[in-house]
Amino acid sequence: MEPEYGALGRCVCCFWLAVAFDIVGLAVLLIGVFVNVFFYDLLIYAGAIVIFLSLIWWVFWYSGNIEVPPAELEDDVGLLKKKKGDLGGLGGAVRRISSRLSSSIRGSFRGNGPPTGGVATRSRRSAAGPQVSPHAEQVSVAMGTVTPQDNFPHTAASSVAGCHVEMPHTATESSPT
C-alpha cells in the first residue's frame, strides 16, 4: 500500500523553504524600491538574488513530486528481466552492434589511442591499409643556442648594488627535420 501524501506532495519542506525565500526576497526588494535609504540598490539586488535562489527550492519540490510508475522505470534502470531468447534475432543483433559502436565512440573521446577491437577499428584498418603508428605524425624540432660572436653587441643588465653584469646576446633557432 502506497503512503498518502497531502496536497503539497512529498517534499513539504522544500515547498515551504521556496515560499519563505520568495516572501523574504520580495520584501527586501520592495523595501529597496519604496523606502528612502542610501543603500537601496543593495536591497534591490539582494532581494532579486534571494528570489532567484528560491528557484532551487522550487525545482527540488517539483522534481521530488514527479511520480513515475515502476513499469516505466524497469527498462530505464535495467530492472527488466531478460528472457533466454532476448538476445537472439534482429533485436539482439541491433543491440550488440549498438553496444560495440558506442564503446568505440567512447574510446575515441578518451584520447587513449584507438579503441581495441570493435567495428570502427576493423573498418579503419581495412580501408586505410596497415595501421599508422601514433609516432608517425609527430614532428620533432631541434633547438640550440648560438654562441656569441664578436659582431654581436653585448647587452648589459642594470647595475644593482654597485655590480655591473654583462649578458651576451643569445639566440635560438629551429631547423626542420
Residue 123 confidence (pLDDT) above 50: no
Percent of the chain with pLDDT over 70: 54
**What distance in Å separates the CA atoms of residue 66 and residue 78, rounded to the nearest whole number?**
20
Residue 77 confidence (pLDDT) above 80: no
Identify the top-confidence range among 23-27, 86-90, 119-123: 23-27
What pLDDT shows up at residue 3?
Answer: 74
Residue 151 confidence (pLDDT) above 80: no
Q: pTM score, two decimals?
A: 0.43
- Average pLDDT rounded to a whole number, residues 169-176: 66
What pLDDT shows up at residue 117?
Answer: 53
Residue 44 confidence (pLDDT) above 70: yes
Residue 41 confidence (pLDDT) above 50: yes
Residue 88 confidence (pLDDT) above 80: no
